[in-house]
Amino acid sequence: MKSEHNDISPHNQAMHPWYDTAVATVIVSGAFSVVIFALLAANHFQRSVADAKREEQLENLKTTLRSQPDNQQLISQIRQLDLQIRQHRIRRHDFSRKGAYLLLASVVTFLVATKCAATFRKKLPEPQLQPDRRDEQFREAKYARWAVATGLVMLGFAALLLAFMPAIDFSAGGAAVASYPSDEEINKNWPSFRGPGGLGVSAYTNIPASWNGKTGEGILWKTELPLPGHNSPVVWGDRVFISGADPNNREVYCFDALSGTLLWTGAVGDPVSSGAEPIEVMEDTGYAAPTVVTDGRRVCAIFATGDIGCFDFKGNRVWIRSLGIPDSAYGYASSLAVYRNLVVVQYDQASAEDGKSKVIALDFFSGRTVWQTNRPVGGSWSSPIVAEIESKPQIITCGDPWVIAYDPANGAERWRVKCLSGDIAPSPIYAGGLILVVEPDYKLVAIRPQGRGDITDTAIAWSVEDIVPSICSPVSDGELIYLLTSDGLLCCHRLSDGTKLWEKELERNFLASPSIVGDRLYLLSEKGVMFILQVGVEYKELTRCELGEPCFASPAFGNGRIYIRATEHLYCIGK
């Protein structure tokens, strides 16, 4: 490239009378611009360094506040600091805005003056004698053709590079990778509390019926659990998930279903600092009573502190958030449910008058609240289920006094039935076209889940006032219902009309809910003894299997296996 020779400084021409003025303007405007720029840079530096420190301090205070929510002094300190930060930002922003205008004006002045100065120094060109341009014109044209041809090659190369870049094939991959598991996938696994639909019914029939924890017979593996919890295992493919917590830590565990090896541990929330007071819960409930939930891609866990976290199958934390410490008399215990990409949280607390209870749907991918609906109930310990009723999904929840169904798409209430009271712990089930709910120690109610609004007067198919459980949830094979009280009374009712067919005193205590596998009923006692009975209109015990360790959680069933959480260990039973 050549410089324009008509811009070379003059030597014999008189200087333009305004030249000196233009140069002086250049110097003044240039110096002014440099000063403004320096001030703006300093402002920018202070904003990004000094204010960042204050923001960090604010974040630390906020973190402390999470463990001391009632510390008014801390709240006041945070507010003051937050106000200071905002005031500083506003000042700096204002400074930056005004400075930008000043800088623009001074740069424009500088440019105009520079151009004027350059124009005043300009002299006329002095073209030299030129040889014949023919060859040069041919050469220029040739080079231009080659340059365009080179451009063509480069564009072609870039196009080919882009054309063969790997891309997602939606037509092939769309079916292979869905956002949420299919019904078939769900039924093959045990994704949530009491398995698919929260029914406590296994899709497999090849489940072992004989083992002994003391001798190791039938025990495939046994792995120590790092932290305690009363939640049940969930199983997806070759992964077993469970959670554990103590007053200071909350963790999710992933075990290899084949070997029992602990694959990863995911921490949910920051550990409670030593100076902070942990929340109080009943020992029987603990800090990790709710069962985790998985969609086969991620696993999500909630704890008594209201902290909820999600991890992918490799143990990477996807998201974490706090729903606020629940005001729960015995400690929060409702397990999570899953519907497509939604994690459903039944967040019942305090009393109905307090208006704190709600059902929340969180996005499994981001943890964001997709919808939440207030509930006119007090605290409960029951877990929600998602039932496919007449080809439409409904979220069924139990609380005092309402059984309420919600539309999972938007959280809108579909229907409600007033039939419960007291501390509701048993979860509902859906069997034979009826929703079955239990009012602790008082009655079993069957509801026809059709209609809209308050359907109390029309929807109750039947109600049986009898000895019913206060903690364990019912189970049904579609014809019979089994109810197991905590002190070991097992009752069998007919699903169609609620008639009690038989009852049997098992003389053991039970906290785990009963399960049905094929034509067998599995009942796990607190002492770790599994009662295996024949499903039928008459009581028939098939066998009892000892685990040798206390058990409070309901078992999970996989293909040919049972996973049992005992107080200290996770067991896998199989052949």
Partner 1 sequence: MARSWYITTGVALLLGLSCAASAVERFPPPEFETGYELPSPTTPAPPHDAYEYVDAAVLLAALGVSSYLVLKMRSRRAIFALTVFSLLYFGFWRKGCVCPIGAIQNVVLSISDPSYAVPVVVALFFLLPLIFTLFFGRVFCAGVCPLGAIQDLVLLRPVSVPNWLENALRLLAYVYLGGAILFAATGSAFIICQYDPFVAFFRLSGNLNILVLGSSLLLISVFIGRPYCRFLCPYGVILRQLSRLSKWKVTITPDECVHCRLCEDSCPFGAIREPTADWSLRDYVIGKKRLAFLMVLLPVLILAGGWAGSKMKNVTARMHRTVRLAERVYLEDAGQAEGTTDASSAFRATGKPTEELYAEASDIRARLERGGWLFGGFVGLVIGLQLIGLSVRRQRTDYEADRASCLACGRCFEYCPKEHARRKNSRKMV
Enumerate residues 157-216 that contact partner 1 by CB under 8 A: 159-160, 162-165, 167-168, 170-171, 173-175, 177-179
Query: Measuring CA to CA, how many Å separate 314 from each of 203, 222, 310, 387?
Result: 27, 22, 11, 30
Element (H, E) at 387: strand 385-389
Of 61 and 389, CB closest to partner 1? 61
Choice from 16, 23, 265, 441 touching partner 1 (CB under 8 A): 23
CB 4, min distance to partner 1, A? 5
Of 81 and 329, CB closest to partner 1? 81
Choice from 110, 211, 332, 563 touching partner 1 (CB under 8 A): 110
Of 82 and 270, CB closest to partner 1? 82
Of 30 and 451, CB closest to partner 1? 30
Binding to partner 1 by residue 49, rule CB under 8 A?
no
Burial 499-512, CB ≥16 within 10 A → b, else e: eeeeebebebebbb
CB 416, min distance to partner 1, A? 23
Residue range at the interface with partner 1 (CB under 8 A); choices 133-141, 185-193, 344-352, 478-486: 133-141
Binding to partner 1 by residue 72, rule CB under 8 A?
no
DSSP, res 154: H
Residue 529 pairs with which residues in a beta bridge?
546
Whether residue 456 contacts residue 411, with contact meaning beta carbons closer than 8 Å, is answered with no
DSSP code string of 245-260: E-SS-EEEEEEETTT-
Which residues in 371-410 contact partner 1 (CB under 8 A)? 409
β 358-363/342-347 pair status? antiparallel
Q: Which of 387, 419, 378 is nearest to 406 (CA)?
A: 387
Residue range at the interface with partner 1 (CB under 8 A); choices 147-155, 187-195, 237-245, 544-552: 147-155
Choice from 52, 155, 282, 412 touching partner 1 (CB under 8 A): 155
Residue range at the interface with partner 1 (CB under 8 A); choices 366-374, 383-391, 501-509, 532-540: 366-374
As to burial, measured by CB atoms within 10 angstroms (0-12 exposed, 13-18 middle, 19+ buried), residue 157 is exposed
d(CA 528, CA 523): 10
Whether residue 239 contacts residue 254, with contact meaning beta carbons closer than 8 Å, is answered with yes
As to burial, measured by CB atoms within 10 angstroms (0-12 exposed, 13-18 middle, 19+ buried), residue 101 is exposed
Residue 218 burial (CB count, 10 A): 18
Q: Which two tokens stand for residue 434?
A: 């009826």
Of 14 and 176, CB closest to partner 1? 176
Q: Which two tokens stand for residue 233?
A: 């295992």
CB 96, min distance to partner 1, A? 4
Of 93 and 575, CB closest to partner 1? 93
Residue range at the interface with partner 1 (CB under 8 A); choices 136-144, 188-196, 208-216, 275-283: 136-144
Residue range at the interface with partner 1 (CB under 8 A); choices 114-122, 206-214, 434-442, 477-485: 114-122
Binding to partner 1 by residue 91, rule CB under 8 A?
no
Which residues in 322-351 contact partner 1 (CB under 8 A)? 340-341
d(CA 429, CA 493): 14
Of 344 and 468, CB closest to partner 1? 344
Choice from 64, 68, 77, 96 touching partner 1 (CB under 8 A): 96
Which residues in 288-327 contact partner 1 (CB under 8 A)? 297, 312-314, 316, 318-319
Binding to partner 1 by residue 415, rule CB under 8 A?
no
Residue range at the interface with partner 1 (CB under 8 A); choices 244-252, 321-329, 358-366, 381-389: 358-366
| Backbone phi, psi, residue 416, to 5° | -145, 150
Residue range at the interface with partner 1 (CB under 8 A); choices 132-140, 433-441, 459-467, 513-521: 132-140
As to burial, measured by CB atoms within 10 angstroms (0-12 exposed, 13-18 middle, 19+ buried), residue 151 is exposed
CB 259, min distance to partner 1, A? 22
Q: Which of 507, 420, 515 is nearest to 470 (CA)?
A: 420
Of 3 and 274, CB closest to partner 1? 3
Burial 377-388, CB ≥16 within 10 A → b, else e: bbbbbbbbbbbe
